[in-house]
Structures are given as structure tokens and as C-alpha cells.
Structure 1
Amino acid sequence: MSKDQGAQSAKKEEHVSKAFSWFHATSVNGGAMVIAAVISSYFSQYMTDHMGLAAGAASLIMFIATLWDAINDPIMGVLADRTHTKLGRYKPYFIFAPILLTLFSVLIWVNPGFSATGKFIWVLVTYIGYGMTVTMYTMPQMAILPAAVKSNQKRNMIITMGAGTCAAAFTIGNTFTPQLTGFFTNLGFSNGYIPLMIVCGILSAVSFWGLFATSKERYLQPVNQGETLKNLKLVLKHVELFPNIIAWIMASMGYGLMFSTSVYYMMYYYMRPDLISVYMGVISIGALVSMVVLMPIFLKVFKTGQRALMVSQILSMICYIILFFFGKTNFTFLCVVTFISACTSSMQNALVNVLVNDAIDYIQLKEGISANGVISSIKGFAQKCGNTFTNSGVLLVLSLSGYVANAIGQEPESTLFALNFLKFGAPCLTGIILILSVMFNPVHKYAKEIEDMKSKMEDVA
């Protein structure tokens, strides 16, 4: 490539349409994220306290469903990489995503008049359907960003936009679900969750179909057409990527624990179910500040996503330790320190996406192929493993601790300790492992070679 051609290519690379940036940021992180927030924070409690499923049975549902969800991520990643249509490699999946998302997110809230076994099977099947749908659109959505944009600065800008949208969606889903479901109940719906899911599904359709219309798969290399396992082995043979995988698991667990334990914590440990919405609002607003305000500042001050991630985790753990010992002292104190912890910890789930793009670039450098889907699926697999531990683990620990549904003020001391540990102790452990994984990540030593490689990449759209 001549000097003039390189300059023209760099100039072209710098332009990323606002429409693509917006739709990419709001696809997974818009209406679909509101659905995910509602399910993450309220579905476990809905199963045990409204559908009448035992905590152990609900834990088993979460374990089976999220484990299978993790297993099928690599399958989806390989499938996405090998998709060849006139519409593109990753784009076709955005057409069907919101339709299936709406269907399954409605069905999981349906409380059929079945026996306990029948309810178990119903929830298991519908929850697996929901999880597979999320996998179907998450892998291509992650994979299409490095395929459409090669500038790290532009990628990080779009990731930051997505993080802000994610935080706003989580604020709505976590804070206002009781009010939103109550609104629909007042309109005559017997179950307010169902119309809420339909509205969110319609919003997700706007974003996913907009992403389909505005995305261009410019920067793709040939795909290894060998056997599926060979594609995975081709990536996983690079031990340099293993710290990334561990970091993805820990970030998923830490982020998930922050939300999935809060309803139980306020209801049974703090014994103030009337304050659930207030406390969830504190967490959600903290997450919004984290991703919209603080994350860009952290990236600017600490220069890289890796450094920003480590600093944010250290600050979060300090808050968690304080809350573990003194969280029940005063509600105002609990809210203030929780807000600070949410401000510093919530960005972890977005910052680890920087590691996805690093891994994709690294494999292109070392193997000369695009493995966007495979690497995105490995990240998805790691994230779902974290979700498996979080979703089923919380319920399992509660079951083993002697938890009794709807027994506010009557839970045994073992359950109260378990709730406090799950809320503040466990995220400290995941944070320590996450920091160590990022500290000993060797991929960064290839940064200059990767930048040289990307400067020579041509637009193939």
C-alpha cells in the first residue's frame, strides 16, 4: 500500500456513521437490556415467591439453563463466522433476534396452572429458549464491531455509548419494574410483566433492525473452513488469551451479584421490602453514572481499558468490605456507600469488552484469519459460566443456608450471613481474581505489531 493509499484508508476509517454507533449501542443494551435487567433482578424471587417453586428447584433450573447457554455460545460463534449470505456474515441474525426475544421473554413470566413438576419443566424450557435467543444476537453483535470499525478509539467510543445505554436500561429495569408492572396491572392486565416484556421487545426490534440496516462488514479476513473444533482449538491454543477468559468470567459474576442479590438482601437481611425500589434505584443510578460519566474519565486518565478495570475493582472492593461489616448500621449509610461501589464496579462489564477486541486483533495477527464470532462466543461462554455460578449459586446457597420463602424477620442466622456474604463478600473475591487476570495478561506486548497490522488492512465492503 502506498503512502497516499494509507492516508486515504486512515481517513475513511475515521468516519463511523452516527446511526451505526447508535444502533450498535442500543441493540443489546436497549430494550433487550431492560428485559435482561428485569429477569436478572426479579425472576429468581418470582419463581420462589410467586410461582411456588422451591429454592433448590429454582437453582437447578438456573444451573441447567445457564450452563447450556454457555455451552452453545461457541456453537453460535462458529456458526456466525461461517454464515455466508448476500446480506452479510453477521447481519442476518439481527432480523430474527427481536421476534424470538419478545416471544420467550413473555413466556417465562407465564404462570401455568401445572403441578410443581410441570412448572419446573415449563420454566426450564422457556428460560433455555430465552437464553439461546440472547446468544443468537449477542455473538454477532460483538463480532460486527471489529468487522465494521478498526480504530481502537472509535471502537471504545461505541463501547462507551453501549455502556451508557446499558446503565440507563438497567436503571429502568431494576428501579422501576414494580411501578411499571403495577401500571399495567392497573390497566387490567393480570400479570404486569407480560405487557412490559412486549413493549421492551418492540423497542429492541427498532434497534436490531436499525443495526442491520446501517452496519457494513468492511474488515474481514477469510474464515478457517476446517472442522468446528479445529476453529476453537486454533484460538484456544494461544495461552495468552486465557487470562482474558478468566477476567470475563469474574466480571460477569461480580456484575451479576450486584443485582441478583439485592432484592433478597433488602427483603430478608435488611427486612425492609418497602425499600427495595429505593435501593435498586441507588444501584442503578450508580451504574448509570459509572458507565456514562466515570468510565470515559477512567479511560482517559488511565489510558487503557485494562488499567481502568483494575483501578475500578480496587475501589469497589474497598466499598464492599465496608458494607460487609457496617452495611446494616444505617440505611442512608448503606445507600451512600452502595452508590459509590456501583459507580466504580458497574463499568467492569463494559471494560472487559475491550479484551474481546484485543483478542480478535491478536488472532488476526498470529493466524491471519478473522475469528470474530469464535472469540465473541468464547467471551459469551465465559460470561454465561459466570451467570451460571451467579444465578444458580445464589439460589443454591440460600437453599443450603435454610432459606424460607416469604419468612421476613424469621430467617435463620445462617441465611442472613449467606445473604450478606453473597451481596458484599463474594464480589470481593471475584474482583481479586479479575485484577490478577488483567495484571498478568501478556497480549498487550503485541500492541505495536497489532497496530501495524491494522494500518495495512483494507476496506472489503
Structure 2
Amino acid sequence: MDYKQPEEMMDKKFAFFHATSVSGTAMMIAAILSSYLSVYLTDTIGLAATSVSLLMFIATLWDAINDPMMGVIADRTKTKWGRYRPYFLVAPILLTLFSTLLWFNPNLGSGNFWYYLAMYIGYGMTVTMYTMPQMSVLPAHVKSDAIRNKIITYGAGCTALMFTIGSSYGRDIEQVLGKWFGTQNGWIPLMIILGLLSCVSFWGLFVTGKEKYIEPLPERPLTQDLKRILKHKELSPYIVVWIMASLGYGLMFATSVYYVMYYIARPDLISTYMLAVSLGALVSMVLLMGIFLRIFKSAQRALQVSVVGSSICYFILFFFGKTNFTFLLVMTFIATALASMQNALVNVLVNDAIDYIQFTEGISANGVISSIKGFAQKCGNTVSNSLPLLLLGLVGYVAGAVGKQNGATLFVLNFMRFGAPIITGAIMLLCLRINPVDKHREDIEVMKSMIRDHSEDNHE
């Protein structure tokens, strides 16, 4: 069937706020927490590495579990503002609160563990509160795959920029703000500033977002919809891909500071190395991702090529990364430039799954599908946040002992930084060979062209 869908115009205001909400200063907060919080908890607060590992495991596991809950709640939310948009009002306020309290030292002794566990759980639930609706509102506002992919690319660019600033210069900015505000802990004013800026982006998304292309809320029981979605086992490879992409991306930032500080034994070079990582991510999402999409025509093919390329670089770095720091920087930049786009390209599979369920079942399940992706992503985060610290604790890692770590600790640092991403990439390649949407692509495009604008219905 030769069918051309009517052209849809880009809503520039919506595109801007969608790209700068989750991927704006909220992402910079995530970058700082991913790169520096574990080191802060072990080396400044004094928690044992195994305790921090347990803390991260509990918090991120619960974060994964509550994602489907949030997706279900969002899909069944009924307000005069729609299903997803109301969450953009409250979530950035809570983000500011919890991200700030994570850097506060309550001096509770053994009670510090429980304090930081509670704050990290609060932070994770807040991220879920805005991530699920933000992913859901895109296919509800836009039905053109080309425009959706452009907006995803814009968000990927923002993600890379915020990660560049947060992971490379977070500690430097913290020290400057500490001097400005006359405090030894500049993380607190930094989190407040970033949180307030995130309010602007999310509130802008609330104003510009429209829930046009979703079916009105059904009267049937929720369990019926869940059964109709979960029976599609052919979508399970998507879940594995989402987990692996998140795990590989998370390990990149969760292990880099430890790698340079203890494996290379040059804490003075942390900022330089993190800059190479972050610039690689920036180039990946701002430049290379668009080039890959144009050359390889589809997000799936671009994803496969990037996995192969980054895995080759990681293999070289695993064996030769320590030989020369300049070589390490250059190869890390190339590997990161190839790898970072993977975490953005897999978002295309979310829209594919939403369209597939609407095509096969005739229901709008944006929130549930987004929450399944979020659940998978958080599972990856759970492993990337907790496993390195667990392994370090088990093999005898000593906080602050630069140049004095044992051989097992050094091996774990090198493997988690460069060996583990090769394994996650191989698993992704196996799963990407199966995409149930491909054989229905043309019919799905016809279906989307026939979906009418329900924005007025949703506000009745």
C-alpha cells in the first residue's frame, strides 16, 4: 500500500520544553549524582562501600518497581489539564527538595544510612513522577515519527550537554558556589539553583503540551488493559534492550571517577578525564546521532552499528587503557561518542511499542508502555549504581587509598569500566534482531493518520 501521511508541523515551543525538561537541569542533577554521590557518601560521609551499594540497590530497585505503578496511575489520571500534564507542576518542586537534601549531612552516625536511603528513594520516585508523563506526552502530542525522532534527538543533545557540564565541572561549580555562599558544601546551593531552573522547563511543558492523539479514558477495568498489553511477549526483547542500554550508560559515569582515582591513581586528572567522557557524549547526541540516523536510515540500524563500534573501542581500552593517559583520553572520547547515543536511540522503541499496542489492541497505553521502559531503565540503573560498589567492597577496596589498592580491586575497576559494556552490547545486538513492529510499519502509519484529535474530549 502506497500511503503518504499528511504532513504534521513541528510545534517548536513544545519541542523546546520537552527537550529541556527531563533532559535539562534535571539531567544535570542526575549527572552529578551519578558521578559524585557515591564518592561523597564513601569518602566524605564515611559510609562503607558495601553500605552504599546496599543503599543504591534498595533505592533503585524500588524506583524500578514503582515505575509501572506511575504509568498505570498516569494513564488513568483524569483532570481538566489531562492525564500527564498535571505531574509537570509538582514534580520539579519535589526534585529541588530531595536533590538538595541528598547533600545535607545530618550527622546521625549509623542513622546516616537510613537518612540517605530515604532521600534517595524520594529522589527516585520524583524522577519517576516526571519521566513517565514526559515520555507519554510526546506520542500524545505528535503522531509523526519523523517529528518525534527530531524531538528525541533534541532531548538527547540536551542530555549530553547537561552530562558534560554536570559530570565534568560539577565539582568545580560546587567549589565556586561554596565560596560565593560561604559554605564548605557548595552542592546544596547548586542543587537549589538547578532545581529552580527545572521548574521553568517543566512548567513550560505543562503550558505547551497537548494530549491530542490518545483515546478517551475507558470505562473498562484497568486489569483488562494490562492483560491485553502484557500478553504481547513479542515485545519482551525491547525490555532487555532498555535494561542493557541503561546499564551500559550508567556504568560509564558510575565508574569513571573511581577508575581515574584508583586504577590510574591520578585523582588530579578526574576533571580532565570526565571532560573527555562528557564531550564524547555531547558529540554523540548532538552530532553523530543525527548522522547515524541519516546514513543508516533507521534508529535500530544506527543502534546496532554504534554498539559494534563502541564494543571494539572498549575491548582495546580494557587491555591497553592504562598504557598512556593521552591514548586513554582519545579512545575514551571515541568509545563514548559511539556509545552514548544508544541510550537515546532506544527511546524510539517506546514509540514503536505504543503504536504497536494501539494497532493490535486499539487502546492508548502511553503511560503503561513508558513505565515498562522506565522499569527496565531503572533495573539497569539498579545494577550500575550498586554492583560496582558491591564488588569493590567484596574485594577489599579501601576508601582514599590512592595507589594502594589491591590487584582484585584494580581488576574490578577496569572490568566494570570497559569489560562490562562489551557484554551489555552483545546482549543488545541479539535482542535487536527481533522487532515485531517492522512487518506492520505501513499499516501502523495508516492507523495513525486516522486518529482524530481528542484534545477537546480530554478536557471535557
Query: TM-score band, normalised by the shorter chain?
Result: over 0.9
- Distance in 2, matches of 1:346 and 1:288, equals 8
After superposition, give the CA deviation of every residue in 1:201-236 in whole Å (9 maximum; x if it has no partner). 111111000000111111001445555444333212
The secondary structure found in structure 2 opposite 1:406 is: coil
Unaligned runs of 5+ in 2: 456-460
Cα RMSD (Å) = 1.2
After superposition, give the CA deviation of every residue in 1:245-296 in whole Å (9 maximum; x if it has no partner). 0000000000001111000000000000000000000000010000000000
- Distance in 1, matches of 2:391 and 2:26, equals 29
Give the one of 337, 344, 350 matched to 2:338.
Answer: 344
Give yes or no for the alignment of 1:185 onto 2:181. no
After superposition, give the CA deviation of every residue in 1:66-92 in whole Å (9 maximum; x if it has no partner). 000000000000000001111111100
Aligned partner of 2:260 in structure 1 is 266
The secondary structure found in structure 2 opposite 1:90 is: coil
After superposition, give the CA deviation of every residue in 1:370-406 in whole Å (9 maximum; x if it has no partner). 0000000000000000001110111111111111111
Aligned partner of 1:28 in structure 2 is 22
The secondary structure found in structure 2 opposite 1:442 is: coil
Give yes or no for the alignment of 1:163 onto 2:163. no
Aligned partner of 1:457 in structure 2 is 451
Write the letter of the residue equivalent to 2:107: G
Aligned partner of 1:83 in structure 2 is 77
- Distance in 2, matches of 1:355 and 1:171, equals 25
Give yes or no for the alignment of 1:10 onto 2:6. yes
Aligned partner of 1:149 in structure 2 is 142
Aligned partner of 2:458 in structure 1 is none
Q: Is the 8 A contact 2:141 2:210 kept in 1?
A: yes
- Distance in 2, matches of 1:53 and 1:195, equals 23
Shift of 1:56: 0.7
- Distance in 2, matches of 1:406 and 1:225, equals 59
Give yes or no for the alignment of 1:405 onto 2:411. no
Q: Is the 8 A contact 1:58 1:395 kept in 2?
A: yes
Give the one of 408, 411, 416 matched to 2:410.
Answer: 416
- Distance in 1, matches of 2:307 and 2:175, equals 36
- Distance in 2, matches of 1:336 and 1:416, equals 21
Flag the 1:228–1:119 CA change in 2: closer, same or farther, 3 A: farther
The secondary structure found in structure 2 opposite 1:176 is: helix
Write the letter of the residue equivalent to 2:239: I
The secondary structure found in structure 2 opposite 1:403 is: coil
Flag the 1:230–1:108 CA change in 2: closer, same or farther, 3 A: farther
Q: Is the 8 A contact 1:30 1:207 kept in 2?
A: yes
Shift of 1:308: 0.5
The secondary structure found in structure 1 opposite 2:172 is: helix
Aligned partner of 1:108 in structure 2 is 102
Aligned partner of 2:116 in structure 1 is 123
Residue correspondence of structure 1 range 59-78 to structure 2 within 5 A: 59-78=53-72
The secondary structure found in structure 2 opposite 1:362 is: helix
- Distance in 2, matches of 1:133 and 1:81, equals 17
Write the letter of the residue equivalent to 2:445: E
Q: Is the 8 A contact 1:231 1:374 kept in 2?
A: no
Write the letter of the residue equivalent to 1:110: F
| Percent identical residues | 63
Write the letter of the residue equivalent to 2:157: G
Give the one of 296, 302, 305 matched to 2:290.
Answer: 296
Residue correspondence of structure 1 range 234-313 to structure 2 within 5 A: 234-313=228-307
Shift of 1:351: 0.2
* Count of aligned residue pairs for this structure pair: 452
Q: Is the 8 A contact 2:72 2:367 kept in 1?
A: yes
Write the letter of the residue equivalent to 2:383: F
Q: Is the 8 A contact 1:240 1:443 kept in 2?
A: no
Write the letter of the residue equivalent to 1:132: M
- Distance in 1, matches of 2:421 and 2:367, equals 29
Shift of 1:196: 0.6
- Distance in 2, matches of 1:223 and 1:286, equals 43
Shift of 1:367: 0.7
Aligned partner of 1:387 in structure 2 is 381
Flag the 1:420–1:446 CA change in 2: closer, same or farther, 3 A: same
TM-score, with structure 2 as normaliser? 0.97
Shift of 1:443: 2.4
Give the one of 118, 127, 134 matched to 1:134.
Answer: 127
Unaligned runs of 5+ in 1: 1-5
Flag the 1:229–1:390 CA change in 2: closer, same or farther, 3 A: farther
Shift of 1:239: 1.2
The secondary structure found in structure 1 opposite 2:45 is: coil
Q: Is the 8 A contact 2:164 2:281 kept in 1?
A: yes
- Distance in 1, matches of 2:362 and 2:434, equals 25
- Distance in 2, matches of 1:234 and 1:40, equals 36
The secondary structure found in structure 1 opposite 2:427 is: helix
The secondary structure found in structure 2 opposite 1:112 is: coil
- Distance in 1, matches of 2:200 and 2:23, equals 12
Give yes or no for the alignment of 1:375 onto 2:377. no
The secondary structure found in structure 2 opposite 1:50 is: helix
- Distance in 1, matches of 2:454 and 2:6, equals 14
Shift of 1:441: 2.4
Q: Is the 8 A contact 1:222 1:369 kept in 2?
A: no
Shift of 1:15: 1.6
Shift of 1:421: 0.2
Give yes or no for the alignment of 1:208 onto 2:214. no
Aligned partner of 1:3 in structure 2 is none
- Distance in 1, matches of 2:270 and 2:224, equals 48
Shift of 1:445: 1.4
- Distance in 1, matches of 2:6 and 2:202, equals 28
The secondary structure found in structure 1 opposite 2:6 is: helix
The secondary structure found in structure 2 opposite 1:253 is: helix
Give yes or no for the alignment of 1:176 onto 2:169. yes
After superposition, give the CA deviation of every residue in 1:299-326 in whole Å (9 maximum; x if it has no partner). 1111111000000010000000000000
The secondary structure found in structure 2 opposite 1:110 is: coil
Write the letter of the residue equivalent to 2:140: A
Give the one of 83, 90, 93 matched to 2:87.
Answer: 93
